[in-house]
Amino acid sequence: MIQKMVESMAQLQEEKLQLQEELLALQEKLSARENEELAVSVQLQDQVENLKEKLLDQAQEVNRLRSELGGTDLEKHRNLLVAENEHLKQDMKSCEAQLQKLKKQHVKCIDCEHIQENARLQERLAQLQLEVEEAKGRLSELDLEVQQKTNRLAEVELRLKDSLAEKAEEEERLSRRLRDSQETIASLKAQPQQIKYIIKTVEVESSKTKQALCETQSRNQHLQEQVEMQRQVLKEMEQQLQKSQKIAAQLRAQIMLYESELEQAHGQMLEEMQNMEDDKNRAIEEAFARAQVEMKAVHENLAGVRTNLLTLQPALRTLTNDYNSLKRQVRDFPLLLQEALQDARAEIGQAIEEVNSTNRELLKKYRRELQLRKKCHNELVRLKGNIRVFGRVRPITKEDGEGPEAANSVTFDPDDDAILHLMHKGKQVSFELDKVFSPQATQQDVFQEVQALITSCIDGYNVCIFAYGQTGAGKTYTMEGTPENPGINQRALQLLFSEVQRKASDWGYTITVSVAEIYNEALRDLLGEPQEKLDIKLCPDGSGQLYVPGLTEFQVQSVDDINKVFEFGHSNRVTEYTSLNEHSSRSHALLIVTVRGLDYSTGLRTTGKLNLVDLAGSERVGRSGAEGSRLREAQYINKSLSALGDVIYALRARQGHVPFRNSKLTYLLQDSLSGDSKTLMMVQVSPVEKNTSETLCSLKFAERVRSVELGPVSRRAELVSWSSQEHLENDSPVAAQPSIRSHSSPRPTRRAGSFRRKLQTSGKLRPVPV
């Protein structure tokens, strides 16, 4: 039994081992199957992924195709074409407007603008045609593109069909494999009955084997669960496959839809393009027709212009003729110019001749005018009176002292510069002179009034300016002045110099001066030998003219010369007398200026003499009980001053006898006081109370002199021989007189001995040849 038991055990052991081996083999098979299933499921999953991807690709392809062939692009293109069409239409419109405008203009104008416009239009037409060609090209391109895209769509469809077929095949394959594996699983399921049976038998034999069996069963269970799961996954996958098949069918339907839409759009597009082309062709035809019409009009214009040109041709011919004749004239111009120049020269010569004769005439007239002017001047002077009396009141000085005696007694009329009032012994006495200078009047103010008189000696008049008044009344100040503020003497000579200079182009002048004094009725030459008494003599020629033999004459040309002369004269006075002031108040100081002139153009010679006399003091000395030489001096002074008064009075009264000979002064100045001479008496007065009686006397003398009239003024000038036959009409009665004495006066030197020259006392000259 045991043997049997051992045998059965051994058998069981063998069976067990066999079973274990079988189990192992099954396990291996199972794991292999598992692996296979895993691989199959992985493969299936991959395939599903691939299919998904393909689906995605196809969807994308469909999208791409949609975007490529889709409505957007077509619409865009259509819009582009529509815009182009619009643009073309606008162009056409503008062409039409231009044509319209041209038509309007055509009515207005017929010139080359139309041709230009036409050319422009033709150009535009050509451009439009080109554009149309381009559009056509583009259209055909688009057609080609559409064709290509349709081809591609067909390709894609084919590919889609292929992929669907592939998918179907794959599905087929998969379902086949699924069936195989299901069969395998079913066969495997059928086997465990046997194993269970063995396990049951083993369980009886060994707990260990039982445990191992249990484990194997649980593992089997687990495997079955896994197979179940796999099955489920497979189911899901099948479902997914179905879904994707559905989607693919949907997509196919959509593609079909799109294709139909595409076809529709393509048809529409073709239709629109056809329409557009028709429109374009119509517009082009219209534009062409219009352009032709316009061209015709332009041609007509051109014809008009041609006819115009034909009419212009004769005008051009005449212009050419004119031009040729002008050319001839230009060629002949130098000759003509020469002739004209000759004529002009002759005319100018004639004109110059005429001007010359006119000039001669004018010169004649000028000379007459000169005479007339002189006559007028003389008349004016005569009307004014040729003795003029001015009064000058010096300012109150320190020498006048203080107190009532030095009080002012002279007042003026603010409205009349010829009136002067003097308070004398409580009474106001008024005097009327030609002009009164107040103490404020300057040397220049005084000179301003006398300068006309001075310049008249340049014209050949004799002039006398006397400074009359008591000692200390300002006679010397007025005549000589101070170095800083010179008086009439220096200013007169300065004026003469400048006047002579101004007339230098027409006149030649020489100015000479003599300085003399009359003291105690003795005439002394202050530029020669002062101690020598000079005589005043009648000319030996019996002309009745006077002259001073031995009186020195200096020719002066500048202020320097004058200053030297004055200095020399003063030094001569100073050497002889100790007190110049004292002496000067008792003698008459004379500055005799002789101006000799020659008019270069007329040959007229003139001589004028300016006598500037600083008279001795007019105060009456007798009353103060002077004696000896002082008394004699006073007597001489009184005599000479009253002789001057008498002479002037006699002249005024036009008495037959004028007592010139009563004093040396009047005798010497005879020529300068009578006839056409001019005299100015500057009556100097002191303004202070203590001098009022002397002031009164001076002013009375002034009034007396002022009322005297001299004879008619005549110029001491004569015309000398004329180079031509013309002679100036000289209406001066004096100038016509013969027997006039003249002295030649060579320029003296500074040497005292040779200074002496005869003073020409007569201004009347005999005609001297030029």
Which residues are at the interface with ligand ADP (CB under 6 A)? Answer: 394-395, 397, 469, 471-477, 585, 684
**Of 204, 190, 193, 223, the residue nearest 15 (C-alpha):** 204
Q: Which does 687 bind (CB under 5 to 8 A by kind): Mg ion, ligand ADP, none?
A: none
Separation between Cα atoms, residue 198 and residue 217, nearest integer Å: 12
State the minimum distance, in angstroms, from the CB of residue 524 to ligand ADP. 19
State the minimum distance, in angstroms, from the CB of residue 646 to Mg ion. 23
Q: Which does 481 bind (CB under 5 to 8 A by kind): Mg ion, ligand ADP, none?
A: none
Separation between Cα atoms, residue 56 and residue 266, nearest integer Å: 27
Question: Cβ distance 217 to 199 under 8 Å?
Answer: yes
Q: Helix, strand or coil for residue 720? A: coil
Q: Which does 763 bind (CB under 5 to 8 A by kind): Mg ion, ligand ADP, none?
A: none
Q: In the complex, which residue's CB is closest to Mg ion?
A: 476
- Nearer residue to ligand ADP within complex by CB, 181 or 476: 476
Q: Which does 607 bind (CB under 5 to 8 A by kind): Mg ion, ligand ADP, none?
A: none
Q: Which does 395 bind (CB under 5 to 8 A by kind): Mg ion, ligand ADP, none?
A: ligand ADP
- Nearer residue to ligand ADP within complex by CB, 40 or 683: 683
Residue type, 50: N
Q: Which does 469 bind (CB under 5 to 8 A by kind): Mg ion, ligand ADP, none?
A: ligand ADP
State the minimum distance, in angstroms, from the CB of residue 476 to Mg ion. 3
Angle at 70 between CA 67 and CA 76, to 5 degrees: 95
Question: Cβ distance 735 to 688 under 8 Å?
Answer: no
Q: Which of residues 556-595 bind Mg ion (CB under 5 A)?
A: 584
**Of 217, 218, 226, the residue nearest 196 (C-alpha):** 217
Residue 470 interacts with Mg ion (CB under 5 A): yes or no = no
Separation between Cα atoms, residue 337 and residue 343, nearest integer Å: 9
Separation between Cα atoms, residue 250 and residue 255, nearest integer Å: 9
Q: Which of residues 501-560 bind Mg ion (CB under 5 A)?
A: none
- Nearer residue to Mg ion within complex by CB, 85 or 618: 618
The encoded tokens of residue 493 equal: 């000579």
State the minimum distance, in angstroms, from the CB of residue 687 to ligand ADP. 10
State the minimum distance, in angstroms, from the CB of residue 506 to ligand ADP. 38
Residue 386 interacts with Mg ion (CB under 5 A): yes or no = no
Binding residue (CB under 5 A) for Mg ion from 216, 443, 476, 677: 476
Specify the DSSP element, H or E, that contains 467. strand 462-468
Separation between Cα atoms, residue 292 and residue 289, nearest integer Å: 5
The encoded tokens of residue 607 equal: 């001589």
- Nearer residue to ligand ADP within complex by CB, 617 or 748: 617
**Of 715, 711, 730, 710, the residue nearest 763 (C-alpha):** 715
State the minimum distance, in angstroms, from the CB of residue 616 to ligand ADP. 9
State the minimum distance, in angstroms, from the CB of residue 518 to Mg ion. 14
- Nearer residue to ligand ADP within complex by CB, 469 or 608: 469
State the minimum distance, in angstroms, from the CB of residue 401 to ligand ADP. 13
The encoded tokens of residue 632 equal: 């004699």
- Nearer residue to Mg ion within complex by CB, 584 or 606: 584
Q: Which residues touch 658 (CB under 8 Å, ≥6 apart)?
A: 647, 650, 651, 674
State the minimum distance, in angstroms, from the CB of residue 562 to ligand ADP. 19
Residue type, 132: V
State the minimum distance, in angstroms, from the CB of residue 577 to ligand ADP. 15
- β 462-468/605-614 pair status: parallel
Annotate 171-201 with three-state secondary structure. Answer: HHHHHHHHHHHHHHHHHHHHCHHHHHHHHHH
Q: Which does 588 bind (CB under 5 to 8 A by kind): Mg ion, ligand ADP, none?
A: none
Question: Cβ distance 673 to 648 under 8 Å?
Answer: yes
Residue 684 interacts with Mg ion (CB under 5 A): yes or no = no
- Nearer residue to ligand ADP within complex by CB, 387 or 616: 616
- Nearer residue to Mg ion within complex by CB, 455 or 584: 584
State the minimum distance, in angstroms, from the CB of residue 410 to ligand ADP. 13
- Nearer residue to Mg ion within complex by CB, 476 or 761: 476
State the minimum distance, in angstroms, from the CB of residue 440 to ligand ADP. 9
- Nearer residue to ligand ADP within complex by CB, 491 or 716: 491
- Nearer residue to ligand ADP within complex by CB, 607 or 684: 684
Sign of CA dihedral 76, 79, 81, 83: negative
Length of the chain: 770
Residue 489 interacts with Mg ion (CB under 5 A): yes or no = no
Separation between Cα atoms, residue 674 and residue 666, nearest integer Å: 10
Size of the site for Mg ion (CB under 5 A): 3
- State phi, psi for 514 to the nearest 5 degrees: -130, 145
Q: In the complex, which residue's CB is closest to ligand ADP?
A: 474
Q: Helix, strand or coil for residue 611? A: strand
State the minimum distance, in angstroms, from the CB of residue 483 to ligand ADP. 12
Q: Which does 394 bind (CB under 5 to 8 A by kind): ligand ADP, Mg ion, none?
A: ligand ADP
Q: Which does 477 bind (CB under 5 to 8 A by kind): ligand ADP, Mg ion, none?
A: ligand ADP
State the minimum distance, in angstroms, from the CB of residue 492 to Mg ion. 18
- Nearer residue to ligand ADP within complex by CB, 354 or 445: 445
- Nearer residue to ligand ADP within complex by CB, 394 or 524: 394
Piece of 25-33, 318-326, 473-481, 519-527 that binds Mg ion (CB under 5 A): 473-481
Burial category of 533 from C-beta neighbours within 10 Å (exposed 0-12, middle 13-18, buried 19 and up): middle
- Nearer residue to Mg ion within complex by CB, 53 or 582: 582
Q: Which does 474 bind (CB under 5 to 8 A by kind): Mg ion, ligand ADP, none?
A: ligand ADP
Q: Which does 678 bind (CB under 5 to 8 A by kind): Mg ion, ligand ADP, none?
A: none
Exposed e or buried b per residue across 662-689, where buried means at least 16 C-beta atoms within 10 angstroms of its C-beta: bbbbbbbbbbbbbbbbbbbbbbbbbbbb
Separation between Cα atoms, residue 294 and residue 98, nearest integer Å: 10
- β 546-548/554-555 pair status: unpaired
- Nearer residue to ligand ADP within complex by CB, 581 or 721: 581
Determine the number of helices (DSSP H) and then strands (DSSP E) in the chain: 15, 17
Cα-Cα end-to-end distance for the chain: 215
Kindly calculate the radius of gyration of the chain based on its CA atoms and give it in whole angstroms: 78
Residue 618 interacts with Mg ion (CB under 5 A): yes or no = no
State the minimum distance, in angstroms, from the CB of residue 473 to Mg ion. 9
Question: Cβ distance 701 to 468 under 8 Å?
Answer: yes
The site for Mg ion (CB under 5 A) is made up of 475-476, 584
